[in-house]
Structure 1
Amino acid sequence: MTARGEPPQRLWAVDAGGSGTTALADDGTRWHRRSANPSSVGAPAADDHLLELLREVAGHLGGAPSAGWLATASVTDAAPGEPARSLSAVAARAGLTGTLTVSRDVTPLLLAPPLDGRGLVVVSGTGSGAVACDGVRPPVAAGGCEYLGSDEGSAFALGLAGLRAAIRGADGRAPATRLGPALAAHAAATRHTTPAAAPVSLPGGVPGGRTLAPPGVPAGRADEDVRDLARRLAAEPFPKPAVAALAPAVCACWLDGDEAATGVVRDALRDLTAAARAARDAAGLTGRWHAVLSGGVFRGCPPFADALAARLAALGPAAVPVVAHDPAAAVLSALTAQRARDRAGRPRPRWTARQTLTTRGGVR
């Protein structure tokens, strides 16, 4: 109970990535749904997926005013307020009331422990990028401009490079590789009903990984040739999640010693290290600082995370970078910390936007 004898305000958080969306309530209830990223599924579908998810959250909260935080890959630090109103309108339509903070997906990782507003976040999920903050000035990003402009070292980049390497090996332009059969088999095994981030066993003896394929990615045929797979994926209206879903097979081939896959992973590690260095330098990050690795590639393939952590050691972090295993929990942690700052009268970061959700389904 509060000092006025009222029940404490309920809290909820959403992590909206490129391949799936996760909501988490303060009582531990969790929901997984399809991507709410317009570049992954299109704007109408993104709104529909988010509305469906938030309606479940609102129903769980029973209509009581609440405080929420929506962290999404579709928002930038430079102008969080522009998409915040449209996202808040979706939340209001879902029946949520109270307040909603909107930010890019990595912002809560910067604000929550262990960084607490100062440090480096490197992302390798469906997309990729690096964001650093010195604790005084706004965060600085390297990459994060979607899969046409950047996303080097991401699941999409791994999947695309692996697919191309497999086809070069299949038609004789490069040495033979196990990537072709592995990618075709992985696509065939991916069921369209698999929830995003559901545990799977990767090929090549890598247990306990997490699929990067969202619900709705078409399953392939068991006898599908990798060239047919490439043509089928190219016909998809939004191929990014489906291409990213191939990353686990690429990582498995790398761990099995496949030469072509090793080259793909080596390039990805190089690109992520370059992004981390650029973000660190642009943010003026010196002295003691820490780093966090976030994204499905790191969570699904721990050796990939370890390999990048070893490379990042040269950049000067005070400790080995840690993997964010539960981004939604980090969003909820950032919300809790922000409410403490609000009570203390401390200003909110300029790179977040706060909206009030009205009881009439609107925003003000």
Structure 2
Amino acid sequence: MTSPPPPPAWLLLEGGGSHTWAATATGDTVLTTAEGPSTSPRSVGEERAVHTLVDLIGQVWDNPTTAPLGVVAAHGAASTRAAAGDFAALIRRALALVGPMAGPVLVTNDLTPLLLSAPGPVCVAACGTGTGFAARNGARWARSSGLEWLLSDEGGGHDLAVAGLRAVVRALDGRGPGTVLTGLAQAWCAESDCTGGDLGEHLFFHVYREEGAKPLVATFAQHVLEAAEDGDAVAGRLVENAADELAAGAAAVCRATGITTGTDYTLLLSGSLLTEATFLRGHFMTWAHENLPPTALLWHTPKSRPEDLLRLRDLWLTPQALPPLTAAMPIHSDPVPSMAEGART
């Protein structure tokens, strides 16, 4: 007796500069999940991004002869509308290599589902490897930062890590003050197989040894936060500067959408440097309470991913709901002509 075919399912993807989460879902039920490294092509390159997507899809998709109903992806790689389209093309490549499979694809920035997760006015501040800020107040939407590390992302993990590593090199050169970051940097790059030479040579080898080192470099941010909490003056100034950048991003999107002092709004924090109780979050929240006190404070956690992405899927299947979203945020959307209401189940 043959087994019945598996029910039609959706493929869900969420990711940014350091991680990728994949899942399958039928209706509102998540069936399987998997996690892996970054699939952002500007962090790891296109080929590595596709390779990781193939691996993750293969882990969650049991029957590669059956195509997904659709792919819903909220990803930091969707910095612009064109970039969202490019990432959709990478997803199609990965599907073809797994199955071969094909299906309609929706790609938008990872801030989009967060803006939809709270009623009323909302401001999202995201700080992980990079940064992103967005706000929604009625029909007014705004977004700032999120154009990757060469154009933006000030205050994020990669930016803070680079500032910390530069402080170490300045101290080694005599161009800057001494800092406990020097010892932390020595331990941080000790795992590399560079032999001989001084700390400067070891750091050089560690950060330049391979293409796509951005996620690796960003891990040094935790050492900067640790040094700041322990009272190191150099690290403390770097964290204060990062908090100022986060405040500037949040203030910009609130100003653009009319969220001011006295507005009943929700502040939603996302990204490990803000959702975890770090020294950076403390500085940022001090600014928020003094300048734009929120009515409610929420944290975006991994548990929120399925609900957020399924809410985004439902909007995709509601023709009148998607155009305003498309006008406000970077998004690539294939048509879903044959799915309508039945595809939710």
TM-score by length of 2: 0.80
* Counterpart pick for 1:228 among 201, 220, 227: 201
CA distance in 2, matches of 1:222, 1:289: 54
Q: Compute the displacement of 1:345 (Å).
A: 6.2
Q: Deviations over 1:295-345 (max 9, x none)?
A: 13224553422331221223424335333221xx44422333245556776
1:111 matched to 2:116? The reply is yes
1:323 matched to 2:299? The reply is yes
Structure 1: which 5+ residue stretches go unaligned? 1-5, 190-218, 359-364
Q: Compute the displacement of 1:164 (Å).
A: 1.1
Residue identity in the other structure for 1:163:
L
8 Å Cα contact 1:309/1:320 also seen in 2 = no
Task: Identify the residue that residue 283 of structure 2 maps to in structure 1.
Answer: 307
The count of residues paired between Structure 1 and Structure 2 equals: 319
1:42 matched to 2:45? The reply is yes
8 Å Cα contact 1:123/1:293 also seen in 2 = yes
8 Å Cα contact 1:23/1:53 also seen in 2 = yes
CA distance in 2, matches of 1:224, 1:273: 41
8 Å Cα contact 1:109/1:331 also seen in 2 = no
CA distance in 2, matches of 1:100, 1:315: 40
CA distance in 2, matches of 1:28, 1:305: 34
1:254 matched to 2:228? The reply is yes
Q: Deviations over 1:273-304 (max 9, x none)?
A: 11111121123335321111211322455342
Residue identity in the other structure for 2:211:
P
Q: Deviations over 1:43-87 (max 9, x none)?
A: 222122222212322227883643432111111354566325414
8 Å Cα contact 1:126/1:155 also seen in 2 = yes
Which secondary structure does the structure 1 equivalent of 2:61 belong to?
Answer: helix
Root-mean-square deviation (CA), in Å? 3.1
Change (3 A) 1:162 1:39: same
1:20 matched to 2:19? The reply is yes
8 Å Cα contact 1:166/1:177 also seen in 2 = yes
8 Å Cα contact 1:92/1:357 also seen in 2 = no
Alignment of 1:233-312 (within 5 A): 233-286=207-260, 287-312=263-288
Residue identity in the other structure for 2:289:
A
1:355 matched to 2:334? The reply is yes
Structure 2: which 5+ residue stretches go unaligned? 338-345
CA distance in 1, matches of 2:154, 2:220: 15
Alignment of 1:1-364 (within 5 A): 9-26=8-25, 27=30, 29-59=32-62, 63=66, 65-76=68-79, 78-79=81-82, 82-83=85-86, 85-93=88-96, 94-95=98-99, 98-112=103-117, 115-116=118-119, 118-137=121-140, 139-188=141-190, 219=192, 225-232=198-205, 233-286=207-260, 287-319=263-295, 321-326=297-302, 329-341=303-315, 346-348=320-322, 349-350=325-326, 351=329, 352-355=331-334
Q: Compute the displacement of 1:110 (Å).
A: 1.2
CA distance in 2, matches of 1:159, 1:19: 14
Q: Compute the displacement of 1:170 (Å).
A: 2.6
CA distance in 2, matches of 1:242, 1:7: 39
8 Å Cα contact 2:32/2:60 also seen in 1 = no
